[in-house]
């Protein structure tokens, strides 16, 4: 039916006649402004939205981090209370991982993967929108706990009847991003209403449901990208011609699909413990707290690679571009990425060396953890090999990429140090570990992602970020970062434990905590300046050419900003680094004759993904309220699930729709020089 209602090709979607979906509702195809962004199924717009939300939450997490560092600037400080400090570090970790790095990586996946493989969109555009909005609502539920916390501090809730049930009144989660049971769970026996006493308050319930919803968003997106990369590659784009960033996206998506079910199960068990008196992790009823740690870390360790592989992919694109030569050892880089992903599932217990596993498992996980250093080292060697013999041009993305290699290498080295379980017995849960993973995740991943932003911003917006500001901000980031986290190696070895909101003078930690805090301020300011630079660029920056860096991959062959149909004609790929070979080698990009005069088929926009995701908003608010003892809150959960089901149902029934968009003729598009015969 929907195919009968196709429009004639139009030059712009604004020229479309109003069209009704199979449900009889008007399709939002012709919308502009806010409703266009809310209903978009364009992978580029979704990517930009992911990026904008991620940068916002980076700033939120950064403010939390600065509050933490301010509290620690001197011994016995009372800038925040113990409870608030615990909430800050819980939300800092959770925000940076789930709301900062993962969505920023997702922004790159969304924007780049279809362009790099020569596709016009992802495999399931509406599912992609669903992933985005589910992430947005999950993030909102998680952070809404702060609103409740501030309301509580202001005394808003003190008159409610259910308030008397709250022995623990932490509204924002204060259980750490790892939420170890039984601190996050229950103890003793459940009462008649199936509520067992708990160590923490409703903040933990917000955390549980928030992470659960974010997991759904990540899973949906991952299935989408796997389908896209496997099925929607242009002719001639064989797997071994895929850009490395796309390869790392594929590995990351597979990791997410394999890792997130473990945390999903664990979260459901914890939720049942807290809301319905189950006893999975309640030791006084025979539950096993250690089970939580196994389930959490078999998700949590692959999660580390979920965070780092996209940044590795980005750097693997930038280094060849600015070295003027192709990636050294492409197959080995791809293979080692896959090996890292595989081994990532075999090392989770190195987070649990101090839990009394016994010598045999400790030894096994110690050796496996050392083994994962090999593929990681291989990547660094190959990046070095890429620079070797090249002509290195210094640009903001290149400087940040070199910073990535350097900082990531430092983080890898301290990782080797605590792969040795006996050494780790002294380092576990000390500031040494904080130093280690911030070198990996901030010095590594954040620098890599910032490099990616500076690298692809000209492609995304057609405008070039100011290089001088970029250098100054990057310099501040690198300097501030090293000042903040370098001394923490020493602090950890000097015995300062993590997650402690204060410390006494006399333990020898005063000087370096002060230095670390000053470093954190410089770092925070540097990141802020960088983000301001980027946002300013997006609106007011200097316009630039479509291929400002002498790019290598397919996206640089397109105009900037990229038109909504991406490729006017489907490309036919003849080599790895297709666009570079097209420019400088003999292997030209060909174009398929896919009926260009009929226009490009565009998917219709839809409200349904947004509607379905909104169900998670209700369910996400209702579940903690139910655990809090708010009367009838369970109905809010049921309403939310109802909205989700109705949203998906309408989505299924509205039909795919679509319209045809006229494209400009491809100037002098030659016949394919080499057809896809692989």
Residue 413 token pair: 């080295």
Least spacing, CB of residue 447 vs other proteins, in Å: 14
Alpha helices in 542-602 (DSSP H): 578-584
Q: Which of 483, 481, 476, 350 is nearest to 424 (CA)?
A: 350
What span, in angstroms and rounded, lies between the C-alpha atoms of 26 and 359?
Answer: 65
Contacts of 3 (CB under 8 A, 6+ apart): none
Least spacing, CB of residue 82 vs other proteins, in Å: 5
| CB-nearer residue toward other proteins: 372 or 637 | 372
Q: What region does 414 belong to: left with phi over 0, alpha with psi -120 to 50, or beta?
A: alpha
Residue 402 token pair: 């070199």
* Interaction of residue 408 with other proteins, rule CB under 8 A: no
Among 346, 494, 538, 648, binds other proteins (CB under 8 A): 494
Least spacing, CB of residue 291 vs other proteins, in Å: 10
* Interaction of residue 46 with other proteins, rule CB under 8 A: no
635: helix, coil or strand?
Answer: helix
| CB-nearer residue toward other proteins: 421 or 554 | 421
Among 21, 86, 249, 513, binds other proteins (CB under 8 A): 86
| CB-nearer residue toward other proteins: 33 or 331 | 331
Among 245, 296, 330, 408, binds other proteins (CB under 8 A): 330
Least spacing, CB of residue 101 vs other proteins, in Å: 22
* Interaction of residue 413 with other proteins, rule CB under 8 A: yes
* Interaction of residue 606 with other proteins, rule CB under 8 A: no
Q: Would you tell me how many other CB atoms lie within 10 Å of the CB of residue 649?
A: 12
Residue 491 token pair: 């602090």
Residues 569-598 that bind other proteins (CB under 8 A): 584-585
Q: Would you tell me how many other CB atoms lie within 10 Å of the CB of residue 230?
A: 12
Place of tokens 């978009």: 40
What span, in angstroms and rounded, lies between the C-alpha atoms of 437 and 256?
Answer: 20
Contact by Cβ (8 Å): 148, 64: no
* Interaction of residue 535 with other proteins, rule CB under 8 A: no
| CB-nearer residue toward other proteins: 17 or 417 | 417
Contact by Cβ (8 Å): 186, 197: yes
Contacts of 21 (CB under 8 A, 6+ apart): 2, 27, 604, 654, 655, 657
Least spacing, CB of residue 423 vs other proteins, in Å: 4
Give the binding range for other proteins (CB under 8 A) out of 135-143, 222-230, 286-294, 531-539.
286-294
Give the binding range for other proteins (CB under 8 A) out of 152-160, 307-315, 486-494, 553-561.
486-494
* Interaction of residue 287 with other proteins, rule CB under 8 A: yes
Residue 522 token pair: 């410089």
| CB-nearer residue toward other proteins: 367 or 532 | 367
| CB-nearer residue toward other proteins: 146 or 292 | 292
Place of tokens 């690679």: 305
What span, in angstroms and rounded, lies between the C-alpha atoms of 58 and 64?
Answer: 10
Contact by Cβ (8 Å): 568, 596: yes
Contact by Cβ (8 Å): 489, 432: yes
Give the binding range for other proteins (CB under 8 A) out of 56-64, 220-228, 229-237, 406-414.
406-414
Among 162, 393, 532, 631, binds other proteins (CB under 8 A): 393
* Interaction of residue 77 with other proteins, rule CB under 8 A: no
Least spacing, CB of residue 339 vs other proteins, in Å: 11
* Interaction of residue 557 with other proteins, rule CB under 8 A: no
Residues 189-208 that bind other proteins (CB under 8 A): 199-200
Distances, alpha carbon 422 to alpha carbons 21, 135, 352, 355, 413, in Å: 64, 40, 12, 13, 16
Distance between the two ends of the chain, CA-based, in angstroms?
A: 37
* Opening angle at CA 515, ends 511 and 521, nearest 5: 150
Containing H/E element for 660? strand 659-661
**φ, ψ (nearest 5 deg) of residue 203:** -55, -40
Among 136, 278, 378, 661, binds other proteins (CB under 8 A): 378
Give the binding range for other proteins (CB under 8 A) out of 210-218, 328-336, 615-623, 663-671.
328-336
Distances, alpha carbon 272 to alpha carbons 128, 205, 213, 299, 581, in Å: 30, 11, 16, 19, 57
* Interaction of residue 646 with other proteins, rule CB under 8 A: no
What span, in angstroms and rounded, lies between the C-alpha atoms of 61 and 59?
Answer: 5
* Interaction of residue 486 with other proteins, rule CB under 8 A: yes
CA 162 to chain CA centroid, nearest Å: 37
Residues 243-262 that bind other proteins (CB under 8 A): none
Q: Is the dihedral of CA 248, 249, 253, 256 positive or negative?
A: positive
Least spacing, CB of residue 131 vs other proteins, in Å: 32
Among 384, 598, 638, 652, binds other proteins (CB under 8 A): 384
**φ, ψ (nearest 5 deg) of residue 329:** 65, 45
DSSP state, residue 542: E
Give the binding range for other proteins (CB under 8 A) out of 22-30, 59-67, 77-85, 304-312.
77-85
What span, in angstroms and rounded, lies between the C-alpha atoms of 345 and 342?
Answer: 6
Strand-pairing partners, residue 26, are 20
Residues 336-375 that bind other proteins (CB under 8 A): 354-356, 358-359, 362-363, 366-367, 370-371, 373-374
* Interaction of residue 326 with other proteins, rule CB under 8 A: yes
Among 2, 35, 500, 669, binds other proteins (CB under 8 A): 500
* Interaction of residue 273 with other proteins, rule CB under 8 A: no
* Interaction of residue 324 with other proteins, rule CB under 8 A: yes
Least spacing, CB of residue 103 vs other proteins, in Å: 26
* Interaction of residue 483 with other proteins, rule CB under 8 A: yes
* Interaction of residue 75 with other proteins, rule CB under 8 A: no
Residues 442-471 that bind other proteins (CB under 8 A): 471
Residues 104-133 that bind other proteins (CB under 8 A): none
* Interaction of residue 512 with other proteins, rule CB under 8 A: yes
Binding marks (x or -) toward other proteins, 155..174, rule CB under 8 A? -------------------x
* Interaction of residue 515 with other proteins, rule CB under 8 A: yes
* Interaction of residue 385 with other proteins, rule CB under 8 A: yes
| CB-nearer residue toward other proteins: 407 or 610 | 407
Give the binding range for other proteins (CB under 8 A) out of 26-34, 478-486, 589-597, 655-663.
478-486
* Opening angle at CA 495, ends 494 and 498, nearest 5: 125
Among 10, 63, 258, 290, binds other proteins (CB under 8 A): 290
Among 28, 75, 261, 289, binds other proteins (CB under 8 A): 289
* Interaction of residue 389 with other proteins, rule CB under 8 A: yes
Q: What is the Rg, in whole angstroms, of the alpha carbon atoms belonging to the chain?
A: 26
Among 54, 253, 259, 402, binds other proteins (CB under 8 A): 402
Give the binding range for other proteins (CB under 8 A) out of 18-26, 182-190, 456-464, 645-653.
182-190
* Interaction of residue 601 with other proteins, rule CB under 8 A: no
Least spacing, CB of residue 480 vs other proteins, in Å: 10
**16-20 — which CB contacts under 8 Å span 24+ positions?**
16/659, 19/604, 19/657, 19/659
Contact by Cβ (8 Å): 613, 133: yes
């Amino acid at each position: 039916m929907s195919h009968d209602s196709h429009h004639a090709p139009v030059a712009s979607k604004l020229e479309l006649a109003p069209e009704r979906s199979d449900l009889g509702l008007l399709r939002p195809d012709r919308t502009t402004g806010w409703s266009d962004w809310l209903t978009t199924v364009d992978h580029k717009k979704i990517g930009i939205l992911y990026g904008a939300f991620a940068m916002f939450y980076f700033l939120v997490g950064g403010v939390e981090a600065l509050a933490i560092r301010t509290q620690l600037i001197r011994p016995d400080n009372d800038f925040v209370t113990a409870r608030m400090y615990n909430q800050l570090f819980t939300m800092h970790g959770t925000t940076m991982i789930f709301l900062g790095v993962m969505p920023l990586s997702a922004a790159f996946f969304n924007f780049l993967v279809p362009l790099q493989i020569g596709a016009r969109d992802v495999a399931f555009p509406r599912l992609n929108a669903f992933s985005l909005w589910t992430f947005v609502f999950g993030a909102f539920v998680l952070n809404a706990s702060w609103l409740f916390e501030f309301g509580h501090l202001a005394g808003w809730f003190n008159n409610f009847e259910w308030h008397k049930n709250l022995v623990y009144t932490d509204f924002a989660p204060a259980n750490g991003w790892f939420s170890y049971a039984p601190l996050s769970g229950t103890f003793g026996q459940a009462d008649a209403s199936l509520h067992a006493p708990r160590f923490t308050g409703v903040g933990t319930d917000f955390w549980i449901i928030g992470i659960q919803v974010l997991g759904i968003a990540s899973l949906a997106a991952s299935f989408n990208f796997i389908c896209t990369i496997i099925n929607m590659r242009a002719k001639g784009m064989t797997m071994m011609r895929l850009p490395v960033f796309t390869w790392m996206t594929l590995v990351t998506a597979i990791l997410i699909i394999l890792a997130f079910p473990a945390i999903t199960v664990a979260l459901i068990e914890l939720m049942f413990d807290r809301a319905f008196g189950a006893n999975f992790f309640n030791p006084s009823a025979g539950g096993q707290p250690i089970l939580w740690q196994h389930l959490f870390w078999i998700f949590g360790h692959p999660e580390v690679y979920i965070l780092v592989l996209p940044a590795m992919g980005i750097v693997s694109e930038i280094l060849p571009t600015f070295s003027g030569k192709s990636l050294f050892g492409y197959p080995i880089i791809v293979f080692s990425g896959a090996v890292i992903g595989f081994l990532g599932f075999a090392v989770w217990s190195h987070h649990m060396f101090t839990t009394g596993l016994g010598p045999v498992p400790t030894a096994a996980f110690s050796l496996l953890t050392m083994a994962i250093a090999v593929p990681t080292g291989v990547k660094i060697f190959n990046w070095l090999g890429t620079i070797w013999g090249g002509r290195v041009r210094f640009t903001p993305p290149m400087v940040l990429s070199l910073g990535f290699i350097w900082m990531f290498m430092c983080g890898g080295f301290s990782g080797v140090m605590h792969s040795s379980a006996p050494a780790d017995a002294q380092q576990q849960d000390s500031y040494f570990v904080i130093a280690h993973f911030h070198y990996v995740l901030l010095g590594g991943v954040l620098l890599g992602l910032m490099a990616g932003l500076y690298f692809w911003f000209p492609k995304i917006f057609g405008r070039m970020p100011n290089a001088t500001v970029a250098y100054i901000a990057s310099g501040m980031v690198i300097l501030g970062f090293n000042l903040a986290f370098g001394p923490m190696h020493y602090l950890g070895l000097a015995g300062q434990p993590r997650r402690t909101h204060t410390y006494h003078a006399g333990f020898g930690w005063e000087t370096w905590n002060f230095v670390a805090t000053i470093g954190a301020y410089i770092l925070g300011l540097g990141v802020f300046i960088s983000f301001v630079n980027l946002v300013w660029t997006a609106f007011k920056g200097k316009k630039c050419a479509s291929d400002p860096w002498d790019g290598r991959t397919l996206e640089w062959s397109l105009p900037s900003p990229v038109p909504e149909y991406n490729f006017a004609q489907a490309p036919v790929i003849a080599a790895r680094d297709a666009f570079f070979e097209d420019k400088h080698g003999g292997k030209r990009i060909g174009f398929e004759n896919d009926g260009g005069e009929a226009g490009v088929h565009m998917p219709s926009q839809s409200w349904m993904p947004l509607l379905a995701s909104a169900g998670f908003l209700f369910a996400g608010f209702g579940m903690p309220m139910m655990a809090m003892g708010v009367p009838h809150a369970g109905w809010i959960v049921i309403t939310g699930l109802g909205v989700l089901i109705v949203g998906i149902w309408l989505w299924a029934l509205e039909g795919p729709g679509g319209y045809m968009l006229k494209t400009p003729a491809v100037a002098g598009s030659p016949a394919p020089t080499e057809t896809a015969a692989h």
